[in-house]
Chains A and B, each alone.
Chain A
Amino acid sequence: GAVVSQHPSRVICKSGTSVKIECRSLDFQATTMFWYRQFPKQSLMLMATSNEGSKATYEQGVEKDKFLINHASLTLSTLTVTSAHPEDSSFYICSARNVRDGSRLFFGEGSRLTVL
């Protein structure tokens, strides 16, 4: 089946530093990838939609300068949390749509970010 890999699964960083999270579709092409944030025991909150070759579309309330998204190829999207602060600590999940079956979403394993 389709696989989406997310890396790193866990990252701890100091306040003020930047962290990059990668999302790769391993066996299919994904023109669209999505980045979600999930707080403990809560649902997934869509942060932005990442389209290959164009600028990401951010949801209301999400700072585009803080959460930089790049979708440089059909199999890779990256989320960079810039100048991270403790309140950015969260579980970040990416998902990808297969160009051949756009009705389904395939999810990455998630990345646990802890900002000290």
Chain B
Amino acid sequence: AQTVTQSQPEMSVQEAETVTLSCTYDTSESDYYLFWYKQPPSRQMILVIRQEAYKQQNATENRFSVNFQKAAKSFSLKISDSQLGDAAMYFCAYRSPTGNQFYFGTGTSLTVIP
């Protein structure tokens, strides 16, 4: 089974600064999807950004961007110009194109310091 590892249980960043959250995964597949989800205190999971493995270009969504290193099986999330509303748990997730299941990492709790 695929595994997703987030090695940073907690991170903090000063407001307006940049922070990078790490994620590595293990798979033998060549094509798959990677996601970053945000879970704020309200608890509803929100999709932040998505990356298809066959695309070499790193996905970007406004202040959120990823550094996708396929050979290293690394998928980090960079948050630029951090805002107080970015404070949440962030989960990295993997999904194969053929399977139903999403595999989630253990999450990183991000604190934004005013």
Contacts and interface: CB of A to CB of B under 8 A. Distances in A.
Given A34-B101, A103-B95, A105-B35, 10 more contacts: A32-B100, A43-B91, A43-B105, A44-B104, A93-B43, A103-B50, A103-B97, A104-B47, A106-B47, A108-B44
A90 B34 CA distance: 27
Contacts of A112: 43
Nearest to A36: B104
Majority-rule SS of B interface residues: strand
Interface string A41-77: 1111010010000000000000000000000000000
Interface of B: 33, 35, 37, 42-47, 50, 52, 91, 95, 97, 100-102, 104-107, 109
Contact of B45 (A32, A41, A93): A93
B42 A109 contact: yes
| A41, A43, A105, A108 pick with most chain B CB within 10 angstroms | A43
B106 A110 contact: no
Given A32-B100, A103-B33, A42 B107 contact: yes
A108 B105 CA distance: 19
Query: Which size bracket describes the interface of A in this complex?
Result: 20 to 34
B50 A43 contact: no
A23 to B, nearest CB: 12
Contacts, number: 49
A43 B43 contact: no
Majority-rule SS of A interface residues: strand
A35 interface: no
A100 to B, nearest CB: 15
Contact of A109 (B33, B44, B104, B105): B44
28 contacts: A34-B101, A34-B102, A41-B107, A41-B109, A42-B107, A43-B104, A44-B45, A44-B91, A44-B104, A46-B101, A46-B102, A93-B43, A93-B45, A95-B45, A95-B102, A97-B100, A103-B95, A104-B50, A105-B35, A105-B102, A106-B47, A107-B44, A107-B45, A109-B42, A109-B43, A109-B44, A110-B44, A112-B43
A91 interface: yes
Contacts of A49: 100-101
